[in-house]
Amino acid sequence: MANPLQNRFHADDIAQAEHYLATEPPAEIDPRVERLVNELIGRIADKWTLLVLELLEEKGTLRFTAIGRQVDGISQKMLTQTLRQMERDGLLTRTVHPVVPPRVDYALTPLGNSLSAAFCGVWMWAERHLDTVEAARASFDARD
Amino acid sequence: MANPLQNRFHADDIAQAEHYLATEPPAEIDPRVERLVNELIGRIADKWTLLVLELLEEKGTLRFTAIGRQVDGISQKMLTQTLRQMERDGLLTRTVHPVVPPRVDYALTPLGNSLSAAFCGVWMWAERHLDTVEAARASFDARD
DNA sequence: CGGAATCCTTGAAGATACTG
DNA sequence: CAGTATCTTCAAGGATTCCG
């Protein structure tokens, strides 16, 4: 779950983006595209998908059991389901080796890698504002 | 649900990030921070939170009922819950006006705005690769 | 109007057992 | 080893009602 990109961006990238948000009026967007984008974000943002994505991005090719061991708390069922969905979406490849015992390798596609990169901004935000969020929560809880 | 930033970034930002991902070894990360980051991402990536975030970023200050009308499919219960969580995390402010009938205004904080900006990369990815993902799904479904 | 409280349904996910 | 199949639980979330 490392974030190798975090030192490669200028620290105020987000502040700059925020500036644009404040000064530019929002553009209109096709409702059909909007619905599909929402669906994709929902899928992608799902807990296990994100974890598997980051693991494979970090470790490269892994077999089924290896992924299960390194994504803590995931059940065999959810692992299978998550991997199938990701394969279906073109995020990873599933390679079955015709040997006994069976051996199945999983690796991200370029599309999967690009998605991992796309989440970089969110990772940076979370790491940068961790303390701020925790302070806000403590303050909120303190006043009932 | 517009994405005002999409035309402000160079088109190959993601490709560049992808390059770094491929060439740089991952850095180690504090497990405690990792757990908290995961929790934040889970919360943030939740369906309603993202929708409310984008709506408020686009429209500015809105009252309770206005948000409910514009986030299609959200129930009163989930709206209340989502707004409370976001307020607790410091993403938005809740302003109660002492009038009858009551009037409550919601608006993003700077922290909330920065989070919206952080998700820009994911939006861009989803919009850029929408067709690729749909094609991958069709291909996957075609071969059983 | 902006909620809180209650009940209730459904589907997601865990546990377990079995198999090519 | 890498799954599939089945059962069961449990909590997220919808519907409804009531209230300051």
- The owner of tokens 């990815």 is B125
- Nearest CA to B56 out of A21, A144, A6, A141 is that of A21
DSSP A61: S
Q: What is the CA radius of gyration of chain B?
A: 19
| pTM greater than 0.95 (yes/no) | no
Burial class (CB in 10 A: 0-12, 13-18, 19+), B127: middle
Interface check A25 vs B, CB under 8 A: yes
pLDDT above 70 (res B124):
yes
- Touching A: B residues 96-135, CB under 8 Å: 110-111, 113-127, 129-130, 132-135
How confident is the model over A85-110, as a mean pLDDT? 96
Asked if B117 and A51 come within 8 Å (Cβ–Cβ), the reply is no
Distance CA A132, CA B36 (A): 12
Return mean pLDDT, chain B: 82
pLDDT confidence tier of residue A20, bands split at 50, 70 and 90: very low
Q: Which residue is nearest to nucleotide C15 (CA to C1')?
A: A75
Least confident interval from A72-76, A101-105, B61-65: A72-76
State whether B4 and A27 contact (CB < 8 Å).
yes
Q: Is the CB of B101 under 7 A from strand D?
A: yes
How far apart (Å, rounded) are the C-alpha atoms in residues A93 and A87? 6
Residues 6 or more apart whose Cβ sits within 8 Å of residue B22? A113
CB atoms within 10 A of CB B93: 14
